Structure 1
Amino acid sequence: MGKKQEREELSRGLSNRHIQLIALGGAVGVGLFYGSASTIQLAGPAVIFSYMFGGLIIFTIMRALGEMAVAEPVSGSFSSYANRYLGPFAGYLTGWTYWFMWVIVGMAEITVVGVYVNYWFPDIPQWASAFAALVLITGVNLINVRAYGEFEFWFAMIKVIAIIGMIIAGLGIILFGFGNGGDSLGFSNLWSHGGMFPNGMKGLLLSLVMVMFSFGGVELIGITAGEAHNPKKTIPSAINSVIWRILIFYIGALGIMMTLYPWNKIGSNGSPFVLIFDKIGIPGAADLINFVVLTAALSAFNSGLFSTGRMLYNLSLQNNGPKFFGKLNKWSTPSRGILFSSAFLLIAVILNYFVPEKVFLYISAVATVAVITSWTIILVTQIKFRKAKSKEEIRNLEFKLPFFPYSSYIALTFLALVIVLIAFIDGMRVALVVGPVWFLVLYIGFRLKGSVKGGKPIEDKKAV
C-alpha cells in the first residue's frame, strides 16, 4: 500500500479550527485542573520556571516534528518517519510504544470519568460509567474523522473557556479585590512563603518530570497531518502557537493560583479552580469544575483512541503490524485499529469492577517513559531526516526547526535528564523497570516477526 494510496484513502476532514483545538486539547489536560497541586508541592512558585523550560523543549520537539510533517504529511507521523529514516525497528518501536502509551492513559481517563460521574450520581457503579464512556467515544471515532474533530473542538473549547475564566476571575481578585471586600491581594504570596524556590533546585528539577508528563499528547498535531485539509498551512500555525498556549494556560493559571493562595496550601482544600470561582460568588462552582474536568477526561480519551487507530493503520502500511489494520471502513476511518484498541480498554472497565483505584497510581510514570521515548525518536529522526536531504532540499523546506542542530541536542539532553530524575521520585521508579521490559518484548516480537517472514521485514518506502 503506497504513498499515493494512503493519502487518497484517509479522508482529509480536519479543518484549521479542528487542528488548532486538537493541539490545544493535547497541550492542556486534566492535570491542570486537579493534578497541578502535586507539581506545585515539589517546586513551589518556581514551578512557573519548570513550565517555561519544559515549554521551550516541547516547542523544539514540535518544530522538529512539524518540519517533517509539513514536508511529508502522513497519518502515522513520527512512526512512519522513524521507519523510513532510522529503519524498520525504529518504526516498529515508536508505533507500538505510542499505541501502548495511549491505551494506558486511556485506561486512566475512563476510570477518571467514573470518578467524576460518581460525584453527581454516587449510586452508579464506576465500571458502568467507564463502559458508557468507552462505547460513546468508540462510536464517535468510528463515524468519520470530522466527527472526531467536532467532538474534540467543542470539548477543548470548554477547557479553554474555563481556564480563561479562571485567569480573568483571579486577576479581578488580585488587582481589584473582587469577592474580597474590595481589598486587592497583590502578588506577595509568590515569594512570602519560603521564597520563589522554597525547595531549592532539587524541587525545581523533580517537578520537571510531572511537567513533561502534563505535556504528553501535544504531539497529536503530527498525527492529524494525514487528515488535515491543508497541512502545509494548518500544521505550522498549530505548532507555532503551542508555546503561547503553554505560557497562557499553564503559567498564567498556576501563577494566579499561587498568587491567591500560599503554594503550600494549594490542594489541601480541594481544587484551586473551585476555590477561585467560589470566592467571586459563582454558584455551583464545584459542579461547574466537575463538568469541565469530566469533559477534559473524555477529550483526552477521544484523542487517545483517535491516535491509536491511526498508529495501527500506519504500522500495517510499514509491514510492522498486521495487514488487518490497513483496511478502512466506508467513512475512510481505520475502524479495525480503533476497535482493537477499544477491546484492550475493556480491561480498564474490568479493573474498575474488581480492583481498587490504586492500580492506576503508576500510570503517569509508565506513560511518561513512553511519551519521552516517542519525543526522543522524533528528535533523532529529524536529525537523520536532515542528513538524508540535499542542500537544495534543505533550503526548500517550508517549516524548518530553528537553531538546528543545537536545539535538537539540547532537547535530547533535557529528555535524558528527565529519565534520570524519575529514579528520584517515589512511586515513579516502576517506570524504569516497565520501560526496558516493554522494549525487550518489542524487540523479541520484531525479531520473531522477521523470522516468520523469512528475514528482515521489508520497509515500505512509499508509506511515507
Structure 2
Amino acid sequence: MSHKNEENDHKTSDNGMVRGLQNRHVQLIAIAGTIGTGLFLGAGRSISLTGPSIILVYLITGVFMYFMMRAIGEMLYMDPDQHTFINFITKYLGKGWGYFSGWSYWVSLIFLGMAEITAVAEYVQYWFPAWPAWSIQLVFLVLLSSVNLIAVKIFGEAEFWFGMIKIITIIGLIATGIFMVLTNFETPVGHASLNNIINDFQLFPNGWVSFVMTFQMVFFAYQAIEFVGITTSETANPRAVLPKAIKQIPIRIVIFYVGALVALMAILPWRELPVDASPFVMVFQLAGVKWAAALINFVVLTAAASALNSTLYSTGRHLYQIAKESDSRTMSKLKLDRLSRTGVPSPAIILSAIVIAVSALINVIPGVSDAFSLVTASSSGVYIAIYTLTMIAHMRYRKSQEFMTDGYLMPAYKILNPMTIAFFIFVFVCLFLQESTFIGAIGASIWIVLFGIYSQLKFKGQ
C-alpha cells in the first residue's frame, strides 16, 4: 500500500483540520496525558493498600497501556487524517460498534469534564472560600472554551505550559528525594533512605486482594493516555511526530510515576505517608517549603484545568465526527458537522462545553450530586470497553487489505494484543472488588449491554 499523504506536512489535513500542532506541543501533550491529578492526590491511598509493590502495579499497567498506544499508533500512522482512533472501530468492527464507541466515548468524556470542573472549583476555593463554586466553574469553562475555539495552535500552547508545571513539580519531588537520601536527611520517623523501601518488603503486605484492587486505581491514573492519538489530524508531519511521542511513553512512565513513588517511599516509610492527603505536600513541607500545601494546590489546579482543556478538545472532535457520520437533521441544524475558518469544530466544542456546564447546576441541587458521582464512576468502566474494542479493531486491521507492511508496527501483536485485552478485562473485574467502584461497575455493565445491543440493532446488516 502506498503512503497516504507521503510527507503529511501540509497545513491542512484531508478532513479540513489545520495542522497547527508542532512537535513540542505533541511531546508535552503526550507527557501531560500520562500524568493526571491522581498521582498528586491519590498516590497516598494506592501506596497504603499495597506498599512498595505499588511500583510493580504502575509498571505492569504502564506496559499494557503502552501496548494499546502502539496499536493505536500503528493504525493512525497508516491513516493520519483520522480525527480519532474511534474511527478505526467503525472501519473494522462495523457501524454498530462505531456508533456505540463514538457516543460512549463522548458521554464518558463529558462526565470526566464535569468531574474536572467540579475539582477546579474546589482548588480555587482553597484560596477564595467565599466564591461560589458554580461561578468559578462557568468562568473556567468560558476561558478554556475560548482557548479551544480560537485555533488549535493556541490550545497546543496552553497545554504545553500546563504540562510543564506538572513535569517541573514531579522533577522537583524526585530531586528532593535524591537530596534527602544522599544527605541522610532526618525526618520525624527516622532518616530518608532507600532502605525505607527495601526493609520488611512484602509483595502483598495487606493481602493479595488489596494488591489486585490497586490495579483499577492505577489504571484510571493512566486514563487519557490515548489523548495524544486524537491530535494526529492536527499535527504537522504526524508520521514523524506520533511514533516519537509513543516510543517515549515507557521512559516517561519510569521517570514520572516510578520516580515519584520511589522518592516518596524513600523519604518516609510507606506506612507513615498520609492516606487522605497529598504525600507531595508532606514531603515539600519536610524540605522546608512552608507554602507546600498552596504549591501543590496550584499544581493540581493546573492539572485539572489541563485535563478540562483536553476534554473540551476531545469532546469537540468526537461530536464533530459523530455529526459527520450521522444523517441526523438536528445535528445538521446545529451545524455540528462544520468547521470554523481556523479549522476548529466550533459548534461541537460549544455544545460540549454547555453540557459540561450542567455540572455547575447538578452540584447546587441537593441529593443529585450522589447520583452524579455514580454516573462518573460508571463512565470509567465504559472506557475499558472502548479500549478493548480498539484492540480488536487493530487485530482486524492487521488482517485487512489496508495493512501497511512498512508502517509503525506494533511488535508481536499476535501475542501482545490478546494479552492487553485480557488485562483490560481483568481491570474491569477489579472494579467489582471495591465498595467505592462496585455500583459504578454495575452501571457500566448495564450501559455496555443495553447500548451495545441498541447500537447493533440500529445498524443491523450494515
Say whether the fold is shared (TM-score over 0.5). Answer: yes
Find the counterpart in structure 2 of residue 385 from structure 1: 397
> What is the distance in 1 between the residues matched to 2:192 and 2:98?
53
What letter is aligned with 1:395?
T
**Contact (CA 8 Å) 1:174, 1:186: kept in 2 or not?**
yes
Change (3 A) 1:208 1:68: same
Partner of 2:14, secondary structure, is: helix
> What is the distance in 1 between the residues matched to 2:461 and 2:319?
20
**Contact (CA 8 Å) 2:42, 2:278: kept in 1 or not?**
no
Find the counterpart in structure 2 of residue 166 from structure 1: 173
**Contact (CA 8 Å) 2:186, 2:192: kept in 1 or not?**
no
Of the three residues 299, 310, 318, the one matched with 1:303 is 310
Find the counterpart in structure 2 of residue 412 from structure 1: 421
TM-superposed deviation, 1:360: 5.4
> What is the distance in 2 between the residues matched to 1:63 and 1:360?
34
How do residues 80-119 of structure 1 correspond to structure 2 at under 5 angstroms? 80-119=87-126
> What is the distance in 1 between the residues matched to 2:97 and 2:13?
20
> What is the distance in 1 between the residues matched to 2:310 and 2:72?
18
For structure 1, the 5+ residue unaligned runs are: 458-464
Partner of 1:167, secondary structure, is: helix
How do residues 311-350 of structure 1 correspond to structure 2 at under 5 angstroms? 311-319=318-326, 322-323=331-332, 324-350=335-361
> What is the distance in 1 between the residues matched to 2:210 and 2:182?
29
- Deviation digits for residues 255-295 of structure 1 (CA, Å, limit 9, x no counterpart): 11122222233224732111111212224111111111100
Change (3 A) 1:374 1:406: same
Find the counterpart in structure 2 of residue 373 from structure 1: 385
What letter is aligned with 2:451?
L
TM-superposed deviation, 1:443: 4.4
> What is the distance in 2 between the residues matched to 1:415 and 1:439?
15
TM-superposed deviation, 1:75: 4.2
Structure 1 runs of 4+ aligned residues shifted over 6 Å read 3-6
What letter is aligned with 1:152?
E
TM-superposed deviation, 1:436: 3.2
TM-superposed deviation, 1:368: 2.6
Of the three residues 380, 384, 405, the one matched with 1:395 is 405
Find the counterpart in structure 2 of residue 460 from structure 1: none
- Deviation digits for residues 366-411 of structure 1 (CA, Å, limit 9, x no counterpart): 2331221221111111100000037xx54222x1001111000110
User: Normalising to structure 2: TM-score of the pair?
Assistant: 0.91
> What is the distance in 2 between the residues matched to 1:387 and 1:348?
44
For structure 2, the 5+ residue unaligned runs are: 6-11
| Bigger shift: residues 275-284 or 228-237 | 275-284
TM-superposed deviation, 1:430: 1.6
> What is the distance in 1 between the residues matched to 2:371 and 2:355?
16
TM-superposed deviation, 1:124: 0.6
What letter is aligned with 2:351?
F
User: Normalising to structure 1: TM-score of the pair?
Assistant: 0.90
How many residue pairs match? The answer is: 447
TM-superposed deviation, 1:447: 6.6
**Contact (CA 8 Å) 2:187, 2:268: kept in 1 or not?**
no
Identity of aligned residues (%): 36
Change (3 A) 1:139 1:449: farther
